[in-house]
A and B are shown apart, each in its own frame.
Chain A
Amino acid sequence: MSTLLEVSGVSVTFDGYKAIRNLSFQIGEAEMRAIIGPNGAGKTTFMDIVTGKTKPDEGRVIWGEKSVNLLKMNEAKIAQAGIGRKFQRPTVFEDQSVHDNLLMAVKNPRGSFPCLFYKPSFADRGRVEELASEIGLSDELYRKSGELSHGQKQWLEIGMLLAQEPRLLLVDEPAAGMTLAEREHTTDLLKEAAKTRAVVVVEHDMEFVRRLECKVTVLHEGSVLAEGSLDHVTANQEVIDVYLGR
C-alpha cells in the first residue's frame, strides 16, 4: 500500500510553547487511523498543519503520488488537492438549507466565475440526494441546517466532506455529544468511507475508537508515543502512565 500523506519531523511553537515536537506520521490509501491522546497532546494542531491553517517551524508534509509539498499551499488549494476536514464543533452553514450545504460541497470547479454561472446538473442533483440518504437527512433536505439536532449537523458535515470526494478525511471528535444510536450510525459512516479513502479520526472516547477497529496512534506532548492496535497501545506502560498517571 503506497503512502498518501507523509508528515516528517514537524515542529510548531506557539509563543514559546512547543505544541508539536518532531512529529512524524504517515497514512496509506484506504486506511482508517485513530489518533488518541490527552488534552494538549497536539491532535488539533496536527490537523491544522495538514490542512494549511498553521504553518510549522520545521519539517515536511508530503502528499500523494507526485509528492507535493503541502506547506507551500493555502487552505483552499489543499482542500482541492483532496484533503477534507471535519471540525470538533459541527460547522455547517446554518443559515442555509441542507441541500445548499451539500451542493456547495459537491466536487465541482471552485473558482468564482464557474460558480457564478453554475447550474446544478442532473448528476449533481442525484449526488446530493444520494448523500442525503446516506447520512439519513433525506427528509430534511430543504430545512435550514441551523434547525437540525446536534447529531444531524455532525452527519451533515460528514456528508459535505464525502461530497468533496477527498482522498484523505480528517475527522475531529465526531462522536462528541452524540447519543448511543447516533454514535453507531457515525461509526458506520466512517467505516464505509475508509473503504475507498484514508480516514484519520481524532477521538477521546476509547469505546468509540474500539468500535472503529483500526490502527491507533497515541500522541503525547506533541509527538508520537505509541502506534499499533488498540489493545497493543493500551498495554503499553508509557501510555498507561500518560492517561492514568496524571
Chain B
Amino acid sequence: MSRTFLVRNPSILVFLALLAVFTIAVTLMSEAFGASLISTSFIKTLGKTLCLCLVALAMDLVWGYCGILSLGHFAFFGLGGYMIGMWLMYARTELIVAESMSNAAIPPTDQEVVDAIGTQIFGVVGSSDFPPIWAFAHSLPLQLLMVLLVPGLLALVFGWLAFRSRVTGVYLSILTQAMTLALSLYLFQNESGLRGNNGLSGLQNLPGVTASQAVVSVWFLWASALALAIGYVVCAWVVSGKFGSVVRGIRDDEARVRFLGYSVEGYKLFIFTFTAIIAAIAGALYYPQAGIINPGEIAPIASIYLAVWVAIGGRGRLYGAVIGAALVSLISTWFTGGLVPSLPLGFYTVDWVDWWLVLLGLSFVLVTLFAPKGIGGLVDIVTGRLTPNRHGADYGPDKGSLMEEEGRK
C-alpha cells in the first residue's frame, strides 16, 4: 500500500471518504446513537446493502476484470452465511439450554447439554443428533475459519476441474449455475444436516450480547462498512500492477497470455477462489443482519441478479460494481416492499411488487444495449475520459473481452 498506489488510484480515496461519511451519517441518524431518524430495520437494510456491495466487488473482479461470467458466486455468499449461522445458532441455543437446566437438581453432564442443544436445533427436522458438519459449531474461531475454508475449498475444487478442462464462456456460466442449483437442492434436504428448507434462524441474536437490536444493527453496519472498505482496497490492489495486467489480458485474449508463458488456468483459479472467499465474508456479515438463511437464498436466480447489478453499475471498474449493487438492491427493496404506489391504467393496475422484475429486466437490456459502461460510465463524463473509436471492434477475440464502449482513455 505505497503512496504511489493511492496516487495511481484516486478513486480509492474518494470511495473511502464517501463510505466513511455515509457510515457516520447513518450512525448519527440511528435510534441507538443519534437522532432516531432511521428505523432499526432500515439500518439493517443499509448494512445488508453494504454486504451486497462487497459481493458485487467480488463479481466485478471475476467477471469485469477476468472475464469469467460466474453465475454461482451467491453459492459462496450463502455458504459463508451458513457457516457463521451454525455458530450463532449453536451458541445461542447453548445459553438457552444452560438456563433451563440450571434449575435442575442434578447438574447436567456435558453430553446432556449437547443432546439438549441438538434436540432444540434439529427438532424441526425430526432429529436430535448433530451431523458431523457441526463438529466445529461450538467454537467461534473454528467456525470463522470455516467461513473462509468451506467456500474457498469448494471454489478451488470446482475451479480446478473447470479451468483445467478449459471450460470457458457460456459453458462455464452454465456450469456455475448448475453448481449453485445443486448446492441449493442438496441443502433443501433434511438429511443435509443444515435443517433443510427451514434453514438457520434467529441469527440476529448475538449470543451473550444483551444490547438491543437497535445497537447491534449499528455494530453490524460498522462491520459491513469496514469489510467493504478493506475489500475495496484489497481488490484495487490486486487488479493494479502486473497481476491486474495479466488478469485483464486473460479477459481480452486468453491465448495470447498463454503464449507469453503465463498459466492462464492458475490465474483464473486464483481469482475464482479469492472472489469466492470475499463473497463468503460478505455472506457471513449479511445473514446475521437478515436473521435467517435458507437454501432459497442460493437459488440460481440470486447469482444472476449479482451479474445484473454489476452490469448496470458498470463492469471493469470497482466503484461501478458498488454503485450498481447499492442502487439496484435498494430500489428493489423499495419496489418489492409495496412502498411504491400502484399505477392505475384504467383497464389494468400495475402493481409494482409484481412488475418490478419486468422493470429490472428492461433496465438491464437497456443498459446492455445503450450504455454498456453502466452507471459508472457517468463518472467518465465528469473526469473527461474519452471513448476510443474502434469502429465497433472489441478489445480482444474472447467472449468476455472488453467491448469498444467499455474502453476508456
Show the binding face of A for B, using Cβ within 8 Å. Answer: 51, 53, 74-76, 79-80, 84-85, 87, 91-96, 100, 103-105, 110-112, 115-116, 118-120, 144, 146-147, 160, 164
Contact of B407 among A76, A111, A146, A160 (CB under 8 A): A146
List the one stretch of B97-105, B240-248, B355-363, B364-372 in contact with chain A.
Answer: B240-248
Count CB-based A-B contacts (< 8 Å).
Answer: 89
Instruction: Flag if A116 contacts B249 (CB, 8 Å).
Output: no
List the one stretch of B9-17, B21-29, B255-263 in contact with chain A.
Answer: B255-263
Instruction: Flag if B261 contacts A118 (CB, 8 Å).
Output: no
Contacts of A147 in B (CB 8 A): 388
Contact of A91 among B245, B253, B388 (CB under 8 A): B253
Instruction: Flag if B396 contacts A94 (CB, 8 Å).
Output: yes
Among B243, B245, B256, B407: residue with most chain A CB under 10 A:
B245
Q: Which 10 A-B pairs have the closest CB atoms?
A: A79-B261, A75-B258, A80-B261, A76-B263, A116-B243, A112-B270, A95-B395, A118-B242, A94-B395, A91-B256
Given A112-B266, A112-B267, A112-B270: A95 in contact with B261 (beta carbons within 8 A):
no
Give the CA-CA distance A80 to B263 in the complex, in Å.
Answer: 10
Contacts of B267 in A (CB 8 A): 112
Given A115-B243, A118-B242: A93 in contact with B259 (beta carbons within 8 A):
no
Show the binding face of B for A, using Cβ within 8 Å. Answer: 238, 241-243, 245-246, 248-249, 252-253, 255-256, 258-264, 266-267, 270, 388, 390, 395-396, 402, 407, 409
Instruction: Flag if A75 contacts B259 (CB, 8 Å).
Output: yes
Give the CA-CA distance A178 to B263 in the complex, in Å.
Answer: 32
Contacts of A85 in B (CB 8 A): 259
List 22 contacting pairs A-B, 8 Å CB cutoff, sorted by A.
Answer: A53-B255, A75-B255, A79-B258, A79-B261, A93-B249, A93-B252, A93-B253, A93-B256, A94-B252, A94-B395, A94-B407, A95-B248, A100-B245, A104-B245, A116-B241, A116-B270, A118-B242, A119-B241, A146-B388, A146-B395, A164-B260, A164-B261
Instruction: Flag if B249 contacts A110 (CB, 8 Å).
Output: no
Give the CA-CA distance A111 to B255 in the complex, in Å.
Answer: 17
**A176 CB → nearest B CB, Å:** 17
Contacts of B396 in A (CB 8 A): 93-95
Contacts of A94 in B (CB 8 A): 252, 395-396, 407
Nearest residue, chain B, Cβ from A113: B270
Q: Chain B interface mostly helix, strand, loop or mixed?
A: helix
Instruction: Flag if A93 contacts B258 (CB, 8 Å).
Output: no
Among A76, A80, A147: residue with most chain B CB under 10 A:
A76
Given A104-B246, A118-B242: A76 in contact with B261 (beta carbons within 8 A):
yes
Give the CA-CA distance A75 to B260 in the complex, in Å.
Answer: 9
Instruction: Flag if B258 contacts A76 (CB, 8 Å).
Output: yes
Give the CA-CA distance A74 to B165 in the complex, in Å.
Answer: 13
**A64 CB → nearest B CB, Å:** 16
Give the CA-CA distance A75 to B246 in the complex, in Å.
Answer: 16
Instruction: Flag if A110 contacts B243 (CB, 8 Å).
Output: no
Instruction: Flag if A84 contacts B259 (CB, 8 Å).
Output: yes
Given A111-B266, A115-B246: A95 in contact with B260 (beta carbons within 8 A):
no
Given A51-B259, A91-B256, A116-B238: A104 in contact with B243 (beta carbons within 8 A):
no
Contacts of B248 in A (CB 8 A): 93, 95-96
Nearest residue, chain A, Cβ from B242: A118
Contacts of A51 in B (CB 8 A): 259
Contacts of A105 in B (CB 8 A): 260
Instruction: Flag if B263 contacts A115 (CB, 8 Å).
Output: no
Among B258, B260, B261: residue with most chain A CB under 10 A:
B261
Contacts of A80 in B (CB 8 A): 261
Nearest residue, chain A, Cβ from B394: A94
Contacts of B264 in A (CB 8 A): 76
**B357 CB → nearest A CB, Å:** 34
Instruction: Flag if A115 contacts B256 (CB, 8 Å).
Output: no
Contacts of A92 in B (CB 8 A): 256
Instruction: Flag if A79 contacts B252 (CB, 8 Å).
Output: no
